[in-house]
Copies of this chain bind each other. A is one copy, B any other.
């Protein structure tokens, strides 16, 4: 078990964890949001982040501090916590972002780690190479090799109680991301940012972002705290949390406020386009859109930043509550409808159902079938996998109906879309207690048919009859030929 991180609760790939930050003498509960503080300019004072918004941790940039004479001197003299006046944990970035933006920076990993230590950072970052998406494989490999050298170097430096992060790169090559994760996991470093995903998020490539995170997670151990570096829009937090991201940072709250942009979990709105404020945070209950527009620039920026932070922290709390209650995927279902690219992200998440299944709890409160996508949830996959292990009589009636037909068959099992067949004794077990709409859909029926197929294929000796309620021909055709069919709706007419 990694010493600084303990997982307390899980749902899908999401988890509630405790990140112990010894240098700050603080335990941060994850999923956590790290507001980004520009050391030269704070829209919302760090003290207020802690007291008004409950921020337990923030992130600032040691490279900017290092490069700004008066700030550097003050940071070295008084320490970062006094400089920023923040009582929680402080993570620092290293200049990697500036490296990716401007092509070069004037510090080495050793220098910047030493500087981060000197100013009292609680979680430091080496200078990794944030390789952008879609570069040549050769470049991705070369830059990853450099990143890995720097992580090894960082691993060797004595940083005392300060935690050090180990960014996971690899561009859009899943095998490189996985290898990078495995390498980082092999160091004694502490926190694992999935790096260089900002360009993906800027282009709404949530599918590729999920693939990158999924690959990094395969390399990292389950006990590694994962930071989705640069992910600041609350719309995608639930999706990323479900894939196993524990830390998010938001510069968006302040940057967007500067441009009169208003964050919502359904996307970003421009203040001038709002006739109503779809929020009940303290800012939005005290103002109308016209009130906000009429404020002087600096007050408007601060008000919007405060709103943006409120919805962001609110979503973090919502995600934690969903993990606790075991309905994180139900939340993702809703967030996936915020934008077609979010649906792409969710559909991609479900491509990784087998990977997610391994961490997903065996039992939860309820399974709500709320879209065609629900048919691909890890619980459905798990049920299909378990079908192989069930013992089956010589003749079996699988039925959506209630009549058992005991005179004709050795046994009768229930069939419930999207799961498929199961012995009646399991009816009250999760996830077979699922609630589903009366108006079912083809995806649920296809998944149920897959379950029937799986059962038949692992029990070739058993004679199987399926009693279904009007399944379409296209679904029935996917079943093995030897399955006898009874249409129960035809029976009743």
| A278 and B474 contact, CB distance less than 8 A | no
List A residues 355-413 near B (Cβ within 8 Å): 368-373
Closest to A309 in B: B280
List A residues 438-466 near B (Cβ within 8 Å): 438-439, 441-443
A370 to B372, CA, bound (A): 11
Surface stretch bound by B, among A156-164, A193-201, A315-323: A315-323
Surface stretch bound by B, among A38-46, A246-254, A328-336: A328-336
Q: How many residues of A contact B (CB 8 A)?
A: 58
Which one, B337, B436, B439, contacts A330 given CB within 8 A?
Answer: B337
Which one, B317, B341, B372, contacts A372 given CB within 8 A?
Answer: B372
Which one, B282, B337, B344, B474, contacts A337 given CB within 8 A?
Answer: B337
Surface stretch bound by B, among A93-101, A167-175, A269-277, A420-428: A269-277
Chain B's nearest CB lies how many Å from the CB of A304?
14
A318 to B317, CA, bound (A): 21
Residue A266 lies at the interface, judged by CB distance under 8 Å to chain B: yes
CB-CB under 8 A from A343, the residues of chain B are 369-371, 437, 439
Chain B's nearest CB lies how many Å from the CB of A309?
9
| B321 and A275 contact, CB distance less than 8 A | yes
List A residues 232-289 near B (Cβ within 8 Å): 266, 269, 273-282, 284-285
1/0 contact string of A41-81 vs chain B (CB within 8 Å): 00000000000100000000000000000000000000000
Main secondary structure of the interface of A (DSSP, over half): helix
| A344 and B439 contact, CB distance less than 8 A | yes
CB-CB under 8 A from A474, the residues of chain B are 474
A280 to B280, CA, bound (A): 6
Chain B's nearest CB lies how many Å from the CB of A244?
19
A269 to B335, CA, bound (A): 19
Residue A182 lies at the interface, judged by CB distance under 8 Å to chain B: no
Which one, B331, B341, B437, B442, contacts A347 given CB within 8 A?
Answer: B437
A339 to B442, CA, bound (A): 19
CB-CB under 8 A from A341, the residues of chain B are 435, 437
Residue A314 lies at the interface, judged by CB distance under 8 Å to chain B: yes
CB-CB under 8 A from A331, the residues of chain B are 266
Which one, B52, B281, B321, B373, contacts A281 given CB within 8 A?
Answer: B281
Interface centre among A313, A321, A340, A442 (most CB of B within 10 A): A340
Residue A183 lies at the interface, judged by CB distance under 8 Å to chain B: no
| A438 and B279 contact, CB distance less than 8 A | no
Chain B's nearest CB lies how many Å from the CB of A376?
11
22 contacts across the A-B interface (CB closer than 8 A): A207-B439, A266-B331, A274-B321, A275-B320, A275-B321, A275-B324, A276-B317, A276-B324, A279-B317, A280-B282, A330-B338, A334-B338, A336-B337, A337-B337, A340-B435, A341-B435, A341-B437, A343-B370, A343-B439, A344-B437, A371-B372, A474-B474
Q: Which residues of A contact B (CB under 8 A)?
A: 52, 207, 266, 269, 273-282, 284-285, 310-311, 313-314, 317-318, 320-322, 324-325, 330-331, 333-344, 347-348, 368-373, 435-439, 441-443, 474
